[in-house]
Each structure stands twice: as structure tokens, then as C-alpha cells.
A and B are shown apart, each in its own frame.
Chain A
Amino acid sequence: MCGIIGYTGAGRDEELSEILLNGLSSLEYRGYDSAGVAIANSTVSVYKSEGELSELERKLPPNTLEGFAGIGHTRWSTHGPPSDTNAHPHTGCDRRVAVVHNGIIENYEELRKELEANDHEFESETDTEVVPHLIEEAITQGSTPETAFRQAVHRLEGSYAVSAVVSGHDAVFATRNQSPLVLGIGDDGYFLASDVPAFLEYTDDVVYLEDGQYVSITRSGVEITDEQGTLVDMPVETVEWDAADAGKSGYDHYMLKEINEQPHALRECLRGRPRELEASIAIDELEGLKQPERVHFVSCGTSYHASRYGAKLFREQGIQTTTFLASEYDVDSIPIDEETLVVGVTQSGETADTLRALRAANSVGAETLAVTNVVGCSAARETDYVMYIRAGPEIGVAATKTFASQQVALAMLSRDLSGRCSSAFIEALRALPDQVQSILDTSHAAAVADEYVDADAYFFIGRGFDAPVALEGALKMKEITYKHAEGFPAGELKHGPLALVTERTPVFAMISGNSNIERMVGNVREVESRGAPVVAVTDVPGRIENHADHVLEIPETHGLFAPILANIQLQLVSYWVANRLGRSIDKPRNLAKSVTVE
């Protein structure tokens, strides 16, 4: 998964490299093991480098690059390790064509053999490199650059957003198939990018391109065509995100900023939806959606944990609900029909596994619903219904505020679908932003983190509604601290994991007034007797403090919401452990924000 950017326009030439670099810096969350740019004028100049964007900036010549069209790329390796040669852009043999690509070209080995037979020489181990050679080959055969680009793309199988420049032409050519690509329309230039923040500081007018559409941008205009080459007219939409939302605003890390933004994120998620006077939930965008026979959740990672929590709320409302890891969702072996609602939970709306699962569900006639944070994302466009969680942009790779917003959104969805709600539920929902703020105001998670920064491993346990948060607590810990962490429903402890528990493995126990306190206390005593330190995250401190080394308190709430609050404490513990260990918190190794490959 990678980020791409392209630009051409009537602006001053020296702005070109600045626009490309700014764009890449906004896309770094998509991957960051290498980066590069290509600038076309009478020749094509390529600069690329392994490592973060700052490495590339160091490599750029001191004089500002001149050119009239440019493309850039920030990479997260799928084929070939990160290195200067494997970094994009890639070029053909005579370096007249440069290409950036996001996705996977499945038939690249076959294409590569064919091109090698025609005397094309390859430099990298990437799947992408076949593209510039294919374009070069077509140009040699007499095609115009635009036709050559089309001919080359016709040969590709797999998922891709591809963008190319050719020497002597003031144009950027691009197309997409199952990978994101948006067009930005500026006052005196045009932008292409994997995601809107790449050019949001220049324009907020965008066109969301669809699979199979081709676009060419030049200094004088833009042309969008379909696969047959017929011009298509696409609507221009205005994006509401504030470009500068991407700034850290005084925090050391985006993650801490985003943790602290949670009260605000939840206010936005709730805005106008709970109706206190009628004791009901209204989700405007879901008008017409009826209570389904059964619900399948499909999702990955943190979104999967939110789905597990959501599924419990759905079942509690009498809706037959199952959760699936999107990558394991196989419509051929799972009972599914028109009465099934398949809910894809994906922050970016571009998660390849989740999109694939939703497409499969669509193909067998199920109703589909996307619960997502990004307006106009692929998931939103490909499903029957979409519910936005309205968390605002999240830059830290480790999801924090979007998890809280997903939990709250799914809680509302459960009541909206069942049509049964209570005043107590609405009141508790509306109290959440302040309760999260109260945790942020008073938490001593940093002190707990200090205590256990040298631990061998971290375990997280909880029952019922708390169980999914135990999984999420462990995921957060491993993502950003690189330490071993595991979460499980508390009852599973004695069926194996207890063998790993020692005095060097703190156990975080979620105990809320609504869960089965006696049984949780029993589990806590099991680990206590093996000498493991216990950190209780609880709204009933009086019931557990005799067995816990530390208590991280959460405000009393409707029992269903305790997991939303407990998770805030766990986020803070993980953040502070990673901080003490000096980890790259916003960009953990080997991970990227939005996983657009399967």
C-alpha cells in the first residue's frame, strides 16, 4: 500500500517539486519505507530514496527542480524489500517514461518475461516496473503517449492506481482499478492523488474517479474517459476537511493529539443523532434501511474489534449477528441471502480485504452497509448504505479516536435497526463525551506505564462487552511498543495462556459494574496467585482494589458503554509505554495506516 501524487498546472515551475513533496508528506501515513518523484520536461528526472521523506528531500538537487508535470510516490513494500532501486517512480529503458503505482500487478512475472524477451532490461524487483516498459514499448510501436498508457494498462491484471509522465509532454496520465485515486481541481493546476489530504492545502474541489476510468491532466485542462475512450462527465465535490487538521497542534505525536481529540470526535459522531425527547436514534443517511434478518460484520484489525463490540450490542437487541475477519469472509461457505445485511467497518473505506468482502456480498444479492470515516471513499461508493463516524482525519497509524467513534456509531446503529431504545440509553450516550474528557483530565496511566515499561509481555482480559476491548488493548500495545501483548476473554485464561503469566507480565483486567464482577475477580485472583501484577480498569474500584496493584478508574456509566471508556485508559498506557521506549509512535515499523492490499 502506497501513496501517489501527480500535478501539472500553469503555476510557476519551481512550485512543482514543492507541491509533490507537500503531497507526499500528507500521504506518509499510507506507507513510508521509501519515496520518490519524477519531473518531466524535455527529459524525465527521477529522484528516489529508501527511508522517510526527509531522506528524499536530502537527495533532491539544491536548485529547485524545473518541469511542467510531475508525479511522486511514498511506498510501503509488497514486492521487494525497501531500497533505492525498488522505490518508485520506475522508468523504462531509455528513461523517457516514469510511473508510480499503488496496488499489486498479479501478472507481472509473465509480462516481465515477455518484455525481457524484447530486450527490455529491469532494475528493480517490483511488479510496477513492467508498466513503464510496456508504455515505452507501445510508444516505440508508434502510439501517442496517451494511447500507449491505455494499451499498457489493458495488459495489467490486479489492483492498481497508476500514474505516468512522458518526456516532452506536459501531461500526467492516470487510471485506477480497485485502488484509490482522486482528482483535485485547483485554480491554476490539477492534482491526482491516492487521498484528498495530499492536495487539500491547494484545493478542496475533487472528483472521485471510478474503476476503469482514465484521466489525463495537462496545463490547459483535464479529460476523464472510460475504458472505450469516451469522455465522461464526473461531478465535482467539495471536501469539508480542514487541510490543516493534519498538523500536530502542539502535541509530540499525532497519536496523543488524536487520543485527546476523542471527546470532540464523539460529539461529532453523536451530533443530531440521539433524540432525547423521543428516546430514539435517528441516523439520517440510513433512512429506508429496515431491520435485517441477520447481520454479518466484515472488518480487519481495530475495526474488527469495534465490530465484535457492535455485534454484541446487535445480538442484545435480538438481531442475529456474526462477525468475520474480512480476509476470511467466503460467501461460498457462509449462509447469506437477500435478508442479510453485510456491514463493512473500515476507517479509511479503502481497506482491500473489507472491500473484497463487501463486493462478494453484493454479488450474492445481500444488502451492504459501510461504516466509515472518509467521505467519498471506495466503501461508501460501493455499498447500498453508508454511515459516517465523523471522527475527522486520523494520521497516527494506530487507530484511537476512530475506534471510539466506531464503537459509538455501532451502538447507535444497533438501536436504530431494532427500533427499541430507552431514555437511559440516550442519556448515557450523551454523557460519553464528558466522561471521556474526565478520564483524560484525571488519568494516571502514564505512571502505570512507567512501572511496567520493562515487562516481558502484557496481557489484557475482560468478559462480555469488555472482551473486544481486551483484544484492542493488546493490539494497540503491540503495534506501537513492539512488545508482546495478548488479549482474550477472561474465561480463556485458564485454558492455556495462564502458562505464560509470570511476575514480569502485567495483566490488565477490565471490570465493569455490568459485567460479571465475581467471575472477573476470580480470574484476577488466578493471575495474582502467580505473582503477576494486576492493573484493574474499572468503574467499581471498591470491588477490586484489594486484588489490584493499580486501579485505572473510569466514570460510572450504562454498563454497555464501560468498554468505550476503559479503552481510553488502555490507549494512554500503550502510548506512554511506547513513549518511554522511544518508539516511532505515529509510524510503527512495518505498518501503514490504510491497508489497500489483500
Chain B
Amino acid sequence: MSKETHMNGTAAIVLAAGEGNRLHPLTKNRPKPMLPAAAKPILEHVFDQLVDAGITEIVVVVGYKRERIQSHFGPTYRDVPLTYVTQDKQLGTGHAVLAAEAAVDGTCLVVNGDQIAASQIIRDTLEAHDADATVALLQRSSVDGYGGVLVDEERVTTIVEDPPDDREYLLNAGIYVLEPVAFDAIRAAEPRAGERLLVDGLSKLVEWGDIVRGTVSEGLWVDATYPWDLLDVSFELFDTGFIGGQSMRNVHETATVHESAVIREPIIIDRDCVIEPGAVVGPNVCLGENTTVGSNAVVERSVVDTDTRIGASATVIECVTGTGVRIGRGSTIPGGPGDVRVADRVFENETLGALLADRVHDCGGVTYVPGTLVGPRTEIQAGTTVRGTLEAETEVRS
């Protein structure tokens, strides 16, 4: 195949149907690809990189809370048409790719909708493709929790999720170029626990003796596994100049910043935000659209999502919020490190002041012990000290 065929007219399948369980409770009302990274959804960054890499058609596999994706993007993104394919039950990445099969023709690119990979990695993979399937690989010291790949002279010999042994695996970047035969292989591979995995399809191709190319690339590649990772993802986008280019101060023209407020870079202040007198915002803060920071409040190293209001004199450090959160007057989120409890596991010394899911409402003077997680629509009475994990839709008193 010639390079021209790769670069022009290649369609990309973007997998965005899953909820992202480990990001709970932020995923109560939207899927993981719609969580914020530097004041816009992760999926929007994914689309940006695809368009920059020359992709001219995008097929989005949607499922869990698909309305949020469809309503945000509509029928096109940066003039590239978007086709939505619904995967009603999320039965694995392979199953999702098969759902999109009818919407693509010939060679196609497959990427995850919840991982941001620089366009260079995508371009490298498209250019290297001369096999039945090509997988983008990254050199990482550990592939813990991700897919691992073993290659022999660029030919994939083993491809697994979460490698069980300590051989020198390369990280599977979750970017694939597939020929139509790959769809047959996915279909032929045995589902496990009712789920079809894309990597099992590729193992099947290897088993059939078809060529699966592994191509090592470099560039920004970020993924949030747990809610507090959203802080690091945004900081990394800042550090690498991935957003705003050289500019560290990104204040939208419709935002209002009072002249006595202090803005410390790097920062993003999105549309219609309001920063009241005396507030100190930044460094490393992303304020989503229509958020408000009250008088004399302090916000540092935080990702604050759309429509949130931070009350006067509140302190908000190393905090992740969902949409429509109300942090009351004088509430204190002093910042990490703290121990975070998720289900039966405790993650020690994580950099997380607090995580407040969609529409948490604190009535003011609330103190958050580092590492606190608060479920959606929970109301916290004034003057309470909270710690640990608070369930959704409850009322918390001191």
C-alpha cells in the first residue's frame, strides 16, 4: 500500500462507549472521554490529534451516556464528519470495533477515546503500516495496568492486557491501523467472560501467521486511570505546551477577571468565567466554562469543571470537581497528600485535596481532609469536617 492511501481519506474509529468504572464517581452522568483535561473533554483532545494527523472521517462508537458526546460534538468536528455508532452493551473493545465495521471501508485507524496521544504517534503509525495490522508502541519503564507487546524485529509476537510476567514489554499505546482481515480475526477470537478484546483479535492474527507490525513511537501520551489522575493529565498538557502553545495564560475574552484578582500562570480560564475581587487563581488551574471564583478565594493546582461556583474566601488546592459543584464560603480544601479509599482499596499518599463529583453542594465552612471523595448531588451542611468517601445523594452533617 502506498503512503498516499494511508494519509488521505483514512477513517478513524474512536472507542468512546465505555463508562470508565475506575473514574467513578465522576462518570455518574457522562462517560470517561467527556471528563475534563485542561478545560475541555478528553475526547476533544483526541479528535484534535486525529484531525492534525490528517484523518478525514471519524466514526465514534458511543454507548454509556452517549447523549453527552453527541450533543457536545454534533455532526462534525473541525469540518471532519462524525458518524455515531451505538454499542448498546459494552462487551469489550473488540466488540466495539466490530460495531463500527459497517461504517468504514478498507484500511482504518482505531484509537481509544479516553487516552490522549500526540498526532505524531498517530502519523508514525499510519506511515509505518504495511501489514495486516499495525500497533503503536511506546518505551515505558513500566506497563503496569496497560497493554504490553513483545516484538521480534518490529513483528508482534505477543500482545496482552496487563502482562502477568516481567519480560521487557513495550507499552501498547492503544492506536491501531487495521486491514479488513483484522475484523475477521476479532470475530474468530474466543470471547473471555463474555467480552471480546481487540488485542485477542490481534493475537488471533499472529496465530494465523498474518503480519502484525509493532512500531515504536514517541510523543505525549496521557491517560487518567483514577480520578486524581485528571490533575496530572492537565498539568502534563500545560508542561508540554500542548494547550495554548507558548502561552501560559489562557483567559477567554468572555471571561471577567476583576482588576484586584491575581492570576498566576499557567492557567486556563474558559468562556463566561467570573473571578471576583481579591481572588488568587493559579498556578496550574483549569476553570471550565461559566465557573465563578468568589472574592478572596484561593485556587491552586486544580481542575474545576463547568458551572462550578467557589464561594468567597474558600481555599481550593489540588481539587478535582465535576460540573455544577458549589463550594461554599470559607470552605477549605488544603490539598494532598492524602489516602484515598476506592472500593476496598486504599491508595496512600495520593496528591489529591478532594474530589467533588457533579453538583456536590457544600454550604460553607466545610473542611475536607486530604483524599476525600464526595459522590454526586451530595449536600454538606455548613461547618462540617468531611473525610473518606461520601456516598451520592446524601446529606452530610457535622
Contact = CB atoms under 8 A, between A and B. Distances in A.
Tell me whether A and B are bound partners.
Answer: yes
A440 B29 CA distance: 10
Nearest to B86: A250
Nearest to B85: A250
A276 B82 contact: no
Between B62, B307, B359, the greatest number of chain A beta carbons within 10 A of the residue's beta carbon is seen for: B307
Interface stretch (A152-160, A227-235, A259-267, A285-293): A259-267
A251 interface: yes
B74 A247 contact: yes
A260 B71 contact: yes
A246 B309 CA distance: 34
B272 A271 contact: yes
A250 to B, nearest CB: 3
B292 A430 contact: yes
Contacts of A272: 254, 272
A366 to B, nearest CB: 34
Interface in B288-334: 289-290, 292, 306-307, 309, 323-324
A261 B71 contact: yes
A245 B256 CA distance: 30
A323 B358 CA distance: 40
Interface in A417-466: 427, 430-431, 433-435, 437-438, 440-441
Nearest to B291: A430
A257 interface: yes
Interface string A236-276: 00000010111111110000010011011001001110011
Contact of B76 (A244, A248, A275): A244
Contact of A249 (B73, B86, B292, B324): B73
Given A276-B292, A277-B256, A434-B323, A250 B66 contact: yes
Contacts of B307: 430-431, 433-434
B290 A245 contact: no
B256 A276 contact: yes
Contacts of B271: 267, 271
Interface in B43-76: 62, 66-67, 69-76
A96 B337 CA distance: 83
Contacts of A437: 29, 323-324
A203 to B, nearest CB: 15
A125 to B, nearest CB: 39
Contact of A242 (B76, B274, B290): B76
A248 B82 CA distance: 11
B89 interface: no
Contacts of B84: 249-250
B274 A276 contact: yes
Given A250-B70, A276-B274, A437-B324, A244 B29 contact: no
Interface residues of B, number: 34
B84 to A, nearest CB: 3
Contacts of A244: 74-76, 81
Contacts of A250: 62, 66, 69-70, 84, 86
Nearest to A248: B75
Contacts of A264: 71-72
Contacts of A267: 271-272, 289-290
B291 to A, nearest CB: 10
A11 B20 CA distance: 49
Contacts of A251: 67, 70
Nearest to A435: B324
Between B71, B254, B272, B274, the greatest number of chain A beta carbons within 10 A of the residue's beta carbon is seen for: B71
Given A244-B76, A434-B324, A437-B324, A249 B82 contact: yes
A271 B254 CA distance: 7
B289 A260 contact: no
Contacts of B29: 437, 441
B359 A438 contact: yes
B274 A249 contact: no
A438 B307 CA distance: 12
Nearest to B66: A250
B339 to A, nearest CB: 30
A441 B393 CA distance: 14
B258 interface: yes
A434 B306 contact: yes
B19 interface: no
B281 to A, nearest CB: 15
Contacts of A434: 290, 306-307, 323-324, 359
Interface of A: 242, 244-251, 257, 260-261, 263-264, 267, 270-272, 275-277, 427, 430-431, 433-435, 437-438, 440-441
Query: Which 5 pairs across A and B sit closest by C-beta, in order of nearness?
Result: A247-B75, A250-B84, A434-B324, A434-B307, A250-B70
23 contacts: A244-B74, A244-B75, A244-B76, A246-B75, A247-B75, A247-B76, A249-B70, A249-B74, A249-B84, A250-B84, A251-B70, A264-B72, A267-B272, A267-B290, A272-B254, A277-B277, A431-B324, A434-B359, A435-B324, A437-B323, A437-B324, A438-B324, A438-B359
Given A270-B290, A441-B358, 4 more contacts: A250-B69, A260-B71, A264-B71, A430-B290
